[in-house]
Every structure is written in structure tokens, then in C-alpha cells.
Structure 1
Amino acid sequence: MNNNTRISLVIATYNWPQALRACIEGCFRQSDRNFEIIIADDGSGEPTRALVEELCARAPVPMRHVWQPDDGFRLAESRNNGILAATGDYIVTLDGDCVPQHDFIARHRQLAEPGYMVTGSRILLSPAFSARVLGEGIDLQSLSLGEKLRYRFQGGLGKAAQLLIKLPDAGRRRHRFSFRRIKGCNMAFWRSDLERVNGFDESFRGWGYEDSDAVARLFHAGVMRKDGAYATEVFHLWHKEAKRDQASSNQHIVLERIANRTTQAAIGLREHGLHTLPVATDKLPAA
């Protein structure tokens, strides 16, 4: 990707301002500054609003806050709101409980390639180490080699190899759909590709599989996938898992769409009034 192309970083959040602060502070220290930040807020309260206002006042890059009322888990709609507010040609999604490494944007820029999306990777932090990071303000981006190894040995970090080895484009191409390593907390897409498949599907309610659905529909529209491991890892702060009441039914929807080679979100970007968005018609040939 050209260095002059602006990237839009869409950060999903919900009522965890302490983690969001760590996430955004990490974004402020990126080596590549040609990006904007959009906080896609799924109905957080006043503490998050106040934090974002404070951070916007000293942000080194353009930053805005898009909010929707709290009406249950509506991550897909929240991400679509962020995409609609974005001005860049390339969209990177990040969750507000993830702290990026200092070269996160630069690595995504390096991996960006027409006809591909990128699914990134994460490094899970233990409950105890997550509490220390937030309570003591530990700078994850500045950990020395010795500290990385020590925290890994102590169980604070779920893995360390991806922190010790950086590959310019590990980007293994996936020419078949797989659920493996699809994490909405770290993905990247060309905006035009998202528009062609109508973005994330807002008919998904409750936790789970709205990210897999987007990847599957893009795949059926001809957009291949690159693996961002050893390049784009983020630190994922520990938290209690969200209720997964809808997970099985959401997965069933994705499996049906894979079988049917569906490309379009049932409720997505066009339903926000963007009637001129293109519709994907170039499905992959039948296997």
C-alpha cells in the first residue's frame, strides 16, 4: 500500500474505559502516523465519553467517537457505524481491550494488497498480568527482550515467539475458507471490498461469529485472506467472557451462508441509507 494512503482504525468498545485508555495510548505511539481513529461505541456510559473527549483533545492523529444506544450486544452495527464515519480507503478493526504494538499500523500497511483482507493475531494476557498492566501502567510496547521472556515464563503472556520474531510478510494465503484465526479484534479490509458485501451483518445479535460471517462473505465475493501472524500481534487484556447464548445459532447461520455462497449482509451498510453501494456479483466458481 502507498504510504500516502490513509488507514482508518475502527476501535470497538463497551464500558471498559481503563482498557480503552491503554488501547488508545498505544495507538498514539504508532510509528506510522498516517491513520485516523474511530471509536465505535456500543452504548458505553459517561466514563467512556469523558475519556474519549480527554484523549481527542491531545490525539496526534484525527480521532472521533461514534456512539449507539445500549440495546444489547450489537458489535456488527457498531463496527458499521465506525466504517461509515471513516474517511480512509483501508479499514483496520481493533477491540478496545487490545493494546497494539508500536508498528501495528505500519505492519498492516505492509500487508495490504488488492484482492486480499488480513486476519491478524493476538497475544492473550493472564488475569493477574492484565490487572498489573492497567493498575501500574506497564508499557507493553516497550517491553525488553528479557521482560517478554520473563512474563512468558511466568504465565503473564500466552505466547512470546510472535514478539521475538517479526516477518515482513508471513501473510500465508488462504484459498479455502477456514474458521481458524478469525479474530474481529484484529482484521483489515479494503473499504471498497466491505462495501461490496454490505459490511458486517447487523442481524447478528449476541456474542459470536459476525466476524467469521464477514470473512466468509468476502471469500465468496472473491476476496482472499492473508494471515497476519508474526506481524500484527496485539496484546489482549483478560476479561470475563461475554454471554454466548446466541453463539450456536450464529455459527449455524454462517455455516448455511458458506453452503449457499452468500456474499451480502442481510442488514448492513446499505441499510444506513447508502443505496449507491455496489453489490458483489462475482462469486467464486463452485468447488
Structure 2
Amino acid sequence: MEKCSLIISTYNWPKALNLCLESVIQQTVLPTEIIIADDGSREDTKVLIQKYQELNVLPIKHVWHPDQGFLKCIILNKAISQTSTDYIVQIDGDIILDRNFIKDHLYVAEKNCFIRGTRSHITQEYLPTLFEDKNVNFNFSSKGVKHRFNALRIPVLSWMLTKKKSDSSSVRGCNMAYWKQDFIDVNGYNNDLQGWGHEDEELATRLVNKGVLKKTVKLRCVQYHIYHPLASRLNENTHEKVIEIVKNSNLIRCDNGYAQLT
């Protein structure tokens, strides 16, 4: 693999997005392009993105729609329609990437698989230091990091902990990668899932129903999630019921997804 599009979802947190983008432009291997899926952020996010566009390090597209609530599935479908490569790496805008994140994702890419990565975390207590210093160079032993095992990058041992299964559980869009054609075949994200909760797992369930394996990667593809308060879980139970229906019916395509927006 030589090319990928990096999708970054964001909503009204330019301080975090700034660190995320800084960690992207410091990658040892750059993505072909960045597509920012913006679920209705204010003007300050647009100004920040324009600053990075003007650096001309790599192409950056800002895909935005008005703020009408948590419509992450819709904005992700719109953003992915703007990609120009066959392979998608997807993260959130509150993530700091290890310098080899893109290099690792390109290495582990495999046909008939989607990637489920893991994440370590930057603690709430460390946030004042993080945003003051604007540091994006973290490792296993850095201050402010928890879940340190997930911060280990040992490529030579990664194969020992890499597993492939027909299983869609615990998939997170903050560290996920897939082939664009597989995404199109299952009609992308389900636009009917509005509000927080398991939209990535629902997509993964349809990918598994299609016959695509979940490839769980450890000791590569390292990232650091910046602490923030939890979003409302109001719709979580409803989304979980949708996933059960998708599993039990072996559904591959959602009725209202990528194709309905392109």
C-alpha cells in the first residue's frame, strides 16, 4: 500500500483539532490527502483548517454542514465521497497520532479486511500542560498517558497479537481503516443513526456480513485520545437494537446511507 485518504471527524474543538493536524503533518509517511468531516463547527474551526491548508504540506478538504445535532454518520458519508484513493484511514479530531501511524496502517492493510486499531489516552489532569505546550510527540513512557500498553509500538512483535475474525464488536472510528469499495458495497454509514452511539460498530457489522474480516492490530498504529467529557448516551440503546437487527438479519446494505447522499 502506498496511498490512503485520512478522514478526520470533528465538532467544535479546534484546540484538539490543531494538535491532531500537527501530528498528521509530522508523520514519517504522509497520507495522500486529509478530508475533514465537520459536523457543524463554528467559524474558528474553519479558520484553523485554512491555516493548515495554506501550509501546502498535503491536500486538505473541509467538508462541513450546518449544526443540526449529532449527524456524524451523514458528514462522514459526505466526506468519504470526496476521497480520491482506494483506501481510507479514519480517526477523530481529538486524537494525537504516533509519528508512524499512517506508515503502520499502510503496512497492515489487507484485502478482504478492515482494521480495528486501539488507543491510549491522555488524562484530564494533563490537559492544561498539553494545550499550553502543544506537544504532539508522545510515547509509552510520556507523562499524562494512561492505558500505556496501547501506546507500545513494537512492529517486530505486532504479528503475534494481530487477529482476524468475523466479529464486529468494539470497533471505534477513531482508529479504523477499510477499503473504499467495501464501504460503498455496504452503503457506508447508516444516516438514520443520529446522536452518539456505535455507528462504527453498525458499519462494521454490515462489513462482516459481507464477508470482510475484522483485523485487530496491536503494537502498531498507535494513537493518543485527548480526554473530554462523555457525550449524551440518550440514543445508545436504540442504536444497539439496530445492530442486533443487522446481525440477526445478516443485513449487508443499509437503506439510507452513502448512496443517498452522493
Do the structures match in fold with TM over 0.5? Answer: yes
In the TM superposition, what whole-angstrom CA distance separates every residue of 1:149-181 from its partner, at most 9, and x where no partner exists?
Answer: 362xxxx2122234344235536333232423x
Partner of 1:269: 258
Partner of 2:81: 84
Q: How many residues align?
A: 260
Q: CA deviation at 1:228?
A: 2.0
Q: Conserved in 1, the CA contact under 8 Å of 2:166 and 2:212? A: no
Partner of 1:197: 186
Partner of 1:53: 50
Q: CA deviation at 1:34?
A: 4.4
Q: Conserved in 1, the CA contact under 8 Å of 2:151 and 2:223? A: no
Partner of 2:128: 131
Rounded Cα–Cα distance in structure 1 between residues aligned with 2:214 and 2:196: 23
Whichever residue aligns with residue 214 of structure 1, its letter is: L
Q: Does 1:243 align with 2:235?
A: no
Rounded Cα–Cα distance in structure 2 between residues aligned with 1:122 and 1:253: 26
Partner of 2:211: 222
Q: Percent identity?
A: 30
Rounded Cα–Cα distance in structure 1 between residues aligned with 2:206 and 2:8: 22
Q: Which has the larger radius of gyration?
A: 1
Q: Conserved in 1, the CA contact under 8 Å of 2:163 and 2:217? A: no
Partner of 1:98: 95
Partner of 1:179: 169
RMSD of aligned alpha carbons: 1.5
Q: CA deviation at 1:36?
A: 0.7
- SS state at 2:173 partner: coil
Residue in structure 2 matching 1:166, options 149, 154, 169: 154
Unpaired runs of at least 5, structure 1: 274-287
Q: CA deviation at 1:192?
A: 0.6
In the TM superposition, what whole-angstrom CA distance separates every residue of 1:176-204 from its partner, at most 9, and x where no partner exists?
Answer: 32423x11111000001001000111110
Rounded Cα–Cα distance in structure 1 between residues aligned with 2:22 and 2:77: 23
Q: Conserved in 2, the CA contact under 8 Å of 1:200 and 1:210? A: yes
In the TM superposition, what whole-angstrom CA distance separates every residue of 1:70-90 from its partner, at most 9, and x where no partner exists?
Answer: 011011111111100111110
Q: Structure 1 residues 24, 150: closer, same or farther in 2, change over 3 A? A: closer
In the TM superposition, what whole-angstrom CA distance separates every residue of 1:76-123 from its partner, at most 9, and x where no partner exists?
Answer: 111111100111110011100001111110000001011000011111
Whichever residue aligns with residue 75 of structure 1, its letter is: K
Whichever residue aligns with residue 233 of structure 2, its letter is: R
Whichever residue aligns with residue 159 of structure 1, its letter is: H
Rounded Cα–Cα distance in structure 1 between residues aligned with 2:12 and 2:136: 22
Whichever residue aligns with residue 127 of structure 2, its letter is: S
Q: Structure 1 residues 137, 232: closer, same or farther in 2, change over 3 A? A: same
Q: Conserved in 2, the CA contact under 8 Å of 1:173 and 1:224? A: no
Partner of 2:105: 108
Rounded Cα–Cα distance in structure 1 between residues aligned with 2:195 and 2:227: 20
Rounded Cα–Cα distance in structure 1 between residues aligned with 2:182 and 2:134: 38
Residue in structure 2 matching 1:157, options 145, 149, 152: 145
Partner of 2:60: 63
Q: Structure 1 residues 18, 176: closer, same or farther in 2, change over 3 A? A: same
Q: Conserved in 2, the CA contact under 8 Å of 1:28 and 1:59? A: no
Which has the higher mean CA deviation after the structures are superposed, 169-178 or 21-30? 169-178
Partner of 1:277: none
Q: CA deviation at 1:59?
A: 3.7
Q: Conserved in 1, the CA contact under 8 Å of 2:38 and 2:64? A: yes
How high is the TM-score relative to the length of structure 2?
Answer: 0.94
